[in-house]
Amino acid sequence: MATPFKKGAIPHDPRIVIPKLEDYIDVSALSDGLPGAPGIVDRESKVKAWPMYANGPDPNAPAVIASTGVGDCTCAGIGHFLAAVTAFSGDVPGGVMFTDTAILGMYSAVSGYQLGNEKTDTGCMLQSVAQYMVNTGLPDTTGKVHKLAGYFAIGGYTNLELLKQVANTFGGVYIGVAVSDSDMTALNNGQPWTLPAAGTNVGPNGIDHCVVIEYSAFGVPGIGNDESVITWGVEQPVNQHWALTNIGQAMGLITEDWISANGTTINGQSLAQLITDSRNVQS
């Protein structure tokens, strides 16, 4: 029997205007807008573990949900993103880790989830979780609180080269996707998520799950699976056609650690106004 995992990404509310990267820096010519990415962008290999964070059966979760998990994928994704950023910055060898209790606390604060009450397990919008990370942050296993300096939407969320460069520059991409029953079966069988050809993109109203892109070989000849996303405790390969069809939302996350190390510019283009605007989004 296939292991059941939980989904829990709510499509973005179009009435909430999120600052869009393309409105702040020039990405029409990628080499001018973002630092050039190498052929393969790897933000995975230095991370020691990708915990489930209660997003499915998880013996570390509170007993009442240990066998089932909850739909906290948007919050688990933040934990995975921060692990990648801290591992590759060198701040925390192996990447920062969080307790299930901390991740569930964020999920409850954002969504209203009540532990053990399945009716309240309704999921979150990616933007709502990002805003919580700006305002409140998330304590790691040592007690240090990690916060976002800001965040932005990526208008061209099916521009895989742009997503690759955002992952290279900021440490990952926070995305909403649609995951089908056949995808779930493939994951249980240790198989990649693939499509033989790109179909019609699901768009923002079709997403139901949140993952983070931490590896991209898009544009490199001979690589069968162009991307790898972190979800449900694994590094899940996906091919280009799957990504072009199933990604329906993409966001960049700017950590306070990134700002302290790199300032508020990309190739001389200021991110200061973008960061300010993202901190003042009204949800």
d(CA 125, CA 59): 26
Pick the closest to residue 20 from 134, 157, 126, 131 (CA basis). 157
Tell me 120's DSSP state. G
pLDDT at position 31, please?
47
Q: What is the pLDDT of residue 111?
A: 97
Distance between CA atoms of residues 164 and 36, nearest Å: 10
Give the pLDDT of the chain (283 residues) as one tens digit per residue: 456 799 999 999 988 889 998 888 777 655 444 556 678 999 999 999 999 999 999 998 999 999 999 999 999 999 999 999 999 888 899 999 999 999 999 999 999 999 999 999 999 999 999 999 999 999 999 999 999 988 999 999 999 988 998 888 888 999 999 999 999 999 999 999 999 999 999 998 899 999 999 999 988 887 878 899 999 999 999 999 999 999 999 999 998 776 766 666 665 567 788 888 887 766 5
3-state SS, one letter per residue, for 169-219: HHCCEEEEECCCHHHHHHHHCCCCECCCCCCCCCCHHHCCEEEEEEEECCC
Distance, first Cα to last Cα, the chain:
40
What's the CATH code, domain 26-279? 3.90.70.10
* pLDDT score recorded for residue 25: 76
Q: Please give the Cα distance from 34 to 154 (Å, whole number).
A: 13
pLDDT of residue 34: 57
Tell me the domain boundaries of the chain. Answer: 26-279
Residue 273, token pair as written in the block: 């106004």
Predicted TM-score (pTM) of the model is 0.93
